[in-house]
Copies of this chain bind each other. A is one copy, B any other.
């Protein structure tokens, strides 16, 4: 199920096969640059010069004229430049959100700490939220926690904002959905 989703995801972006390839290219660059890949360039240049020298000795170069010779060099190194640039170019990053289904087992309740921290819900707010989920009124919660009614109201108000809820019933519903309360 999970893998299928990802599969679809990828297939949807199959038009961008090239970009995946590009990612790979970037990867390769990293490897090269890390491992003295400039040597490659130097070696190729040196090698070319060596070949040229050999050709010069053979009196083959100037038979066709200096222009053609220079032109070849130019073409070759242009290609080299393009090749290098392709390798060295940094890719733009595109972020795709994929929804992953997480099935919650109902018997043992395990608090979802991730969601808690993500939503920025504090300890005290969680206390209020738990009692709220039990069906207690703000006054009863205040009694339970030994704080004033106003304090509970402040906490609950903050909770509604953090849980993006309009009412306490909605807040409880969301909290249960997210595994914040039992």
A49 & B67 in contact (Cβ 8 Å cutoff): yes
B31 & A10 in contact (Cβ 8 Å cutoff): no
Name the B residues within 8 Å of A166 (CB-CB): 135, 137
Which of B11, B18, B97, B137 is in CB contact (< 8 Å) with A167? B137
Name the B residues within 8 Å of A167 (CB-CB): 135, 137
Name the B residues within 8 Å of A168 (CB-CB): 169
Instruction: Tally chain A residues at the interface, Cβ within 8 Å.
Output: 86
Complex interface bits, A42-86 against B, C-beta within 8 A gives 1, otherwise 0:
000100110011001000000000110011011111111111111
A70 & B52 in contact (Cβ 8 Å cutoff): yes
A24, A53, A105: most-surrounded residue (chain B CB, <10 A): A24
A20 & B103 in contact (Cβ 8 Å cutoff): no
Complex interface bits, A1-30 against B, C-beta within 8 A gives 1, otherwise 0:
000001101110110111111111111100
A7 to chain B: closest residue by CB: B27
Indicate whether A90 reaches chain B with its CB closer than 8 angstroms. Answer: yes
Indicate whether A165 reaches chain B with its CB closer than 8 angstroms. Answer: yes
Name the B residues within 8 Å of A171 (CB-CB): 135
Which of B91, B92, B101, B179 is in CB contact (< 8 Å) with A100? B101
A137-B168 Cα distance, complex, nearest whole Å: 10
Query: Would A103 and B102 be within 8 Å (CB), given that A79-B25, A86-B89, A91-B92 are in contact?
Result: yes
Interface residues, chain A, with chain B CB atoms under 8 Å away: 6-7, 9-11, 13-14, 16-28, 31, 41, 45, 48-49, 52-53, 56, 66-67, 70-71, 73-86, 88-107, 112, 132-137, 165-174, 177-179
